[in-house]
Amino acid sequence: MGRLPRFADQDPDESYYDPAFDGVVRRLRQGGCQLAEGQGVLTTLLGSCVAVCLRDTHLMIGGMVHFVLPGTADGIAATLAEYGPYPYGEPAMTELYQRLMARGAAPRKLEAKVFGGGEVVSVLGPIGWRNIECVETFMRDYGIPIVASDLGGTQSRRVYYQASSGRAWVRRKGDGATKGDGATSGADPIDRPSARLGPGRITTGNPTGEGR
């Protein structure tokens, strides 16, 4: 991929052709859950929310879910109905897991890549960190390894994920490059395990130390 994908956070279309991928990119909005089709790419924009990408490494099928809060008891009275059918962490990840099982995926063949959880809305407290903990608990309970992540920090980020290949790219807002496993020339790989460094701090595979 020789061209940068557009940030596309204000684009109203649900899907669009992106020359950076030479194919159709489908946008996943807050509270959404989507399986990838063929060679298609899924993308979503994240702040404190978290995107979870699950993939069966044998069948090479997968999808993405974008949740807003870890659960309903998070001290926020406003309804999240406007944020799609799956705004909460565990129900959202369970839905994605069950959709993959319905396609014939095997639990022991699943891998996860997770993104987001930034502390970008300080008035809500450490929502990003609680979202990250929610993902880690779910994956531990289900025995699914997290093989790559870009989590924490204070920037919003756009994530691109191609389930057929298992490749992912992250572009932080304001950055001049996309970080990913082959996304651009000289891009930083993110396909490596994360490690906990304390609240809101996760290693991301970014050797510059940004977000730590």
Give the residue numbers marked as catalytic.
Answer: 49
Compute CA distances 135 → 62, 90, 92, 123, whole Å: 17, 8, 10, 22
Count H helices and E strands in the chain, helices first.
2, 11
Nearest to 111 by CA among 52, 187, 31, 41: 52
Instruction: State phi, psi for 18 to the nearest 5 degrees.
Output: -120, 115
Alpha carbons within 13 angstroms on the beta-carbon side of residue 32 total 16
